[in-house]
Amino acid sequence: MNNLKLEVIKYAKKLNDTNLSPLRSGNVSVRTDLSGKEGFFITPSGIKYNDLQEDKIVFLEMDEKKNEQKIIDLRLNPSSEWKFHQDIYINKPDAIAIVHAHSPYATAVSAHGKNIPAFHYMVALAGGNDIKCADYATFGTKQLSKNIIQALNERKGCLMSNHGQVAFGKNLDQAFELAEEIENICHQYINTIKLGNPKILSFEEMNKILEKTKNYKKN
């Protein structure tokens, strides 16, 4: 289990190192089982990632009421966004790790509440023929969780209006790489629309791409 905590710390620091999410912003989690209890390790709230130690990584279960009581009783300090991590794990059995970032370009696009259309076939890496933008809700709320789950329908990543982005995968490396891909796509999209309205690939073409990308980056 300590290895998983170290993995969470590694990718939390990588958020800073790659400028995907600077200082204390964003969060990282990984699904696990502790003493027979299904749950997840998640980064703490308000701590600079370069200062992270294993004892600061919090284990939470897949039960919101238990978690809320546990946080009070044990004076735990999980990320304020733990609810949407929990809800993604509950609703997405294939989600083993989650990366949430306030990455510059994804945040810029999200501030306009825009879905990313199929202006480039790499949009398919997030799992659909566009990248959805979840409606805005205050951070840490159940409503934000609901909005994210809706935007992640048949997808592995989405934007979060006026906030940032979230991505999941079968491990932290995969989740982090998808977050990087989404950030790159958002950068390309911002540059593209400066020239006017881009050509959008058809549903038929994107369905072909989605089929082709099923086995893309399996490792």
Q: Residue 187: name the closest of 101, 105, 118 by CA.
A: 105
**7, 81, 181, 183: the active-site residue:** 81
Residue whose pair of structure tokens reads 């072909």 in the numeric block: 208
Which tokens belong to 158? Answer: 């989405």
* In contact, 41 and 32? CB cutoff 8 Å: yes
User: DSSP character for 140?
Assistant: T
C-alpha of 106 from chain center? 12
81 is catalytic: yes
* In contact, 47 and 104? CB cutoff 8 Å: no
Q: Residues near 173 by Cβ (< 8 Å), separated by ≥ 6?
A: 11
Which of the residues are catalytic?
81
